[in-house]
Structure 1
Amino acid sequence: MYDYVVCGSGSSGSAVAGRLAEDPGVSVLLIEAGGDDDRESVRNPDLWAANLGADTVWHFTTEPDPAVAGRSLPYAMGRVLGGGGSVNVCNWVRGHRNDWDSFARATGDPAWGYEAITEVFRRVEAGPMRVTPASLTPFGTAVRAAAEEAGFPGHPSPNGALTTAARGSATSQKTVVDGRRLSPYRAYVAGRELPNLTVMTGTLVLRVLIEGGRAVGVRVLAGGRVEDIRAEAEVVLSLGAINTPKVLMLSGLGDAAELRRHAIPVVRDLPGVGRNLHDHALLNLVWNTRPGAVLPPPGDTGAGCFWQLDGSPAFLYVTPTPDGTVTFLVGTSMTDTGRVRLASVDPAADPLIRTGYFTDPADVAAALRVLDTVRTVASAPALRPYLTDERAPGTSDPVAHLRATVETFWHQCGTARMGHDDLAVVDSRLRVHGVDGLRVADASVLPHVTMANTMAPSVAIGERAAAFIRG
């Protein structure tokens, strides 16, 4: 028996657990399906890509979709202490004023508005998180200059005035200290003395235990044994935008028709569970490089963060590649949304995932406008010493290129969104509608994806959840 059981040690879950455990009078359990984060692929931020083929991530794939040339897309999410915050690129981006003010309107709660959430970020960045500017290479400096030449005013940070601007460029901010990753887990949990906080790794949450309309604990698989863990006060699901709706559905909370299809007793008909999957689609343009140009090693150049590209919200990072080209990586959201559904009642089975990429013709048109804007940046004078001509899509069909190459930026959210309409799953205080003692605290509660990377918003969600609970 614990007072609070927090499921998932990612950016939100670590913040919730760490903040709740600051009260020495309560006991907190933090459950993680993955293992320890003390490995070089996690601690060294330059090695983040090595995690994509390792046991530190969930190896989800999407359903084959004709809108993306019939492909199934890799759809990894963190499965290690720290979750996504342990395997991402460490970019810290608060999000735009438009994002947070729209969340306040959707929930009717000013606690989610831009002004209120900015105060949360200021407290977080003053401690426990430490945020530092990326070190720009000469090529990264040229990217910044090219962006300004293309009409994107320069800013020192993506988290200052750029959060209210229509467009701009900035040097990235990172959760990296002395060359080592500072994940939210390391900041909120591992780096602090919290004797009343217990961490269980290698533990798969099977379902929430609900008695008389109240969450009273969770059923888990740990060490080959199924165990029930009781929660005296609350259960918090922070499993991410794929596993949170999956566990809700396995617990009898979801679309009644879907639950009955799998012979799951309906505890609460919540048709929005698993719907509204938002993400940033990753588009790419590839440029050939000039012979003799000095480029940094493959990886993040520290420059980017462009917003409202020609009226289509998007962001951009630029990276050299091992084959000697330069890739412009664009993140943009889609008007159509995806969905997460159960494949079976087996808790170990991956769910069915549909992204919604390019199923709406308007999204194709918007992506083409974004590509044209990125071409303006790539051809700006500051990058002429480095780049020559466009390699991809080049002269090929740009729409076919988009469909054949689009991937995810791993910013999944929205599948248990906040609100009060029929498809909302949680209220503005993150309580699951119709179930006492159960909250969701991760990016799945966001009505839509924020303007860029989602680690910082996820930490803010965790902070908000802890404050709501303690209040």
Structure 2
Amino acid sequence: MNESIRSHYDFIVCGGGSAGCVVARRLAEDPDVTVLLLEAGGSDRVPQAIDSTQWMWNIGTSRDWGFKAQPSASLNGRTPLLPMGKLLGGGSSINGSVWARGHKHDYDFWAQCADDEGWGYESVLSLYRRIEDWKGPADAHRRGVGGLLNILQPDNPIPLVPALIESAQALGIPFVQDINGAAMEGDGGCGLPNVLVQDGNQRVSMAATYLHPYMGRSNLDILLCAEVGRVLLEGKRATGVEFIRRGKLHKVECTREVILSLGAMNTPKVLMLSGIGDAAQLRPHGIEVRHHLPGVGKNFQDHILLAGCMWEYIVPEAPRNNAAEFVFYCKSDPSLKTPDLMPVLEECPFASEVTGTQYDVPTGAASAWTLAPGLARPDSRGQIRLASANPLDAPLIEANFLSTDTDMKAMIRCVEICRDIGNAAGLAPFRKREVMPGNLSAKDMEQFIRNAAGTYFHGSCTAKMGRDEQSVVDGQLQVHGIDGLRIADASIMPAITTGNTMAPTVIIGERAGDILRKAHSLSSAHITLG
């Protein structure tokens, strides 16, 4: 990782997160091109990132951007935290290590939006097969073996997990051997998540997998603590970037393309600071409008997670593996095409800043377990706005969680299912008492949900791919109206995927790599070092 850089590069990748690591690696596989990766955070080689069970305790540290939503009436005026990874590897270095690939209908919808079958389910499956080294039940059509990413099911999960599976089955949610297999082409199911871990609880991040084997190569420079402020433009073409490092402003030129992989909050922020966005948003901040693109920052989506349905242990049980060893997908309404609920087990007490004071929550990570209700396909939409023209100011994030009646109805049903599972007879050996929410009236349940709801850490969709007037990139990930500028991160999703978003974001990075290699006739053998 370099302390000094060149004056210009063939490609500049902005953001070293789950997609940026992939893009930088795939470009650098051609030894004849030069690549610069700029990452605002620090190194991923710290114990808190390496240990996959510590993910929840990274929130609010220097490894987190520390974003929070604007006050929202739909959450009783609360401003929930919106954690996002700020270190090499991004979210993949501090998240729950869950590899959830998404539903067939998700990708077919993307392909429809982009008018490009390269984003369709069968095409995406080929990318997953290419990159996975799957250690679970064999499925030659859906799963890959021998790829870069070590993916497995949690080894020796806590004793609570089999009891949760049995209780879910009793409610008609079938147990499936592979939650990423046929279940994600149909009505879902319950079981163990796929996780990116090895040697017990060692995290497999995108930085460790894609970048570490390439560090030291002469054509790849990685600069940490470098916060991108704006894209440099000549007319309608990107020619470089401006970034701040240790209080100093720097500029670096790009001869081929700039790729923004800054995430759903920072990618639209940088576009707007560069004069690309809704003119009505830019002019009040004195920013010259270089290209009017009204969809920038719009369409914000996130899975809504409730903190949560909690039970105190009779005998405390320490978390294992990724501390989230059970998940299920089901429908709040049988008429739905795709599962819209995605609760997850948190192997610790998990409460919001409000419910944590309203209820008698046990202390200590091993004292309680939480079945956290989650919405996989929320209807609520938000937006990202600029706070000012200062690149160091955080953007204003209007998350608008639970702002639709449909989302509230689905969440109420999700809480009911989680309580039915957690209070089942089979869970009695693990249940001293139900901590929250208890048997509430309809009015009190709605208030509990609004006080407990927050993020699943899956911000996305703020620079969506498509062809309508609110789209920001096309199917080739090029920013509409700007040459030499592409986006490769979760912001390009037209709609959020069914499940955790790391895996789809990696796929976006892989697809971007393929697109860029073809566009620039780069050599690549998909080298699988390390």
TM-score (normalised: structure 2) = 0.86
Pick the aligned partner of 2:343 from 293, 312, 316: 316
Distance 2:205 2:174 in 1: 30
Query: 1:24 aligned to 2:31?
Result: yes
Give 3-state SS (helix, strand or coil) of 1:67's partner. helix
Matches within 5 A, 1:374-453: 374-387=418-431, 390-396=434-440, 397-453=444-500
Comparing 304-313 with 251-260, greater Cα deviation is found at: 304-313
* Counterpart position of 1:215: 238
Pick the aligned partner of 1:327 from 333, 356, 370: 370
Distance 2:224 2:311 in 1: 45
Contact 1:300 1:317 in 2 (8 A): no
* Counterpart position of 2:150: 130
Which AA in structure 1 matches 2:221?
A: T
Contact 1:13 1:462 in 2 (8 A): yes
Distance 1:214 1:15, change over 3 A: same
Query: 1:7 aligned to 2:14?
Result: yes
Contact 1:305 1:452 in 2 (8 A): no
Contact 2:96 2:324 in 1 (8 A): no
Distance 1:288 1:76 in 2: 25
* Counterpart position of 1:188: 210
Which AA in structure 1 matches 2:261?
A: S
Pick the aligned partner of 1:152 from 170, 173, 177: 173
Q: Deviations over 1:285-337 (max 9, x none)?
A: 4343464x463448724111323344461212123435233211122142120
Which AA in structure 2 matches 1:465?
A: A
Comparing 66-75 with 245-254, greater Cα deviation is found at: 66-75
Matches within 5 A, 1:254-265: 254-265=277-288
* Counterpart position of 2:139: none
Give 3-state SS (helix, strand or coil) of 1:383's partner. helix
Distance 1:441 1:21 in 2: 16
* Counterpart position of 1:49: 56
Which AA in structure 2 matches 1:318?
A: L
Which AA in structure 1 matches 2:460?
A: C
Contact 1:287 1:387 in 2 (8 A): no
Distance 1:386 1:59 in 2: 34
Unmatched tracts of structure 2, length 5 or more: 1-7, 133-145, 350-361, 519-530
Distance 2:103 2:311 in 1: 33
Comparing 9-18 with 367-376, greater Cα deviation is found at: 367-376
Identity of aligned residues (%): 39
Distance 2:41 2:428 in 1: 45
Which AA in structure 1 matches 2:53?
A: D
* Counterpart position of 1:353: 397
CA RMSD of aligned residues (A): 1.6
In the alignment of these two chains, the number of paired residues is 470
Pick the aligned partner of 1:247 from 267, 270, 273: 270
* Counterpart position of 2:73: 66
Post-superposition shift, 1:445? 0.2
Post-superposition shift, 1:77? 0.7
Which AA in structure 2 matches 1:466?
A: G
Q: Deviations over 1:325-374 (max 9, x none)?
A: 32111221421201000000000001111111122122111211122222
Distance 1:149 1:341, change over 3 A: same
Distance 1:356 1:171 in 2: 31
Matches within 5 A, 1:69-88: 69-88=76-95
Distance 1:191 1:149 in 2: 47
Distance 1:97 1:59 in 2: 33
Unmatched tracts of structure 1, length 5 or more: none
Comparing 324-333 with 17-26, greater Cα deviation is found at: 324-333
Contact 1:137 1:301 in 2 (8 A): no
* Counterpart position of 1:338: 382
Comparing 309-318 with 252-261, greater Cα deviation is found at: 309-318
Comparing 197-206 with 154-163, greater Cα deviation is found at: 154-163
Distance 2:245 2:28 in 1: 23
* Counterpart position of 1:172: 193
Which AA in structure 2 matches 1:22?
A: E
Post-superposition shift, 1:407? 1.2
Contact 2:374 2:414 in 1 (8 A): no
Which AA in structure 1 matches 2:368?
A: T
Contact 1:234 1:439 in 2 (8 A): yes
Contact 2:158 2:319 in 1 (8 A): no
Distance 1:320 1:378 in 2: 13
Give 3-state SS (helix, strand or coil) of 2:19's partner. helix
Give 3-state SS (helix, strand or coil) of 1:264's partner. coil
Distance 1:331 1:94 in 2: 17
Post-superposition shift, 1:100? 0.8
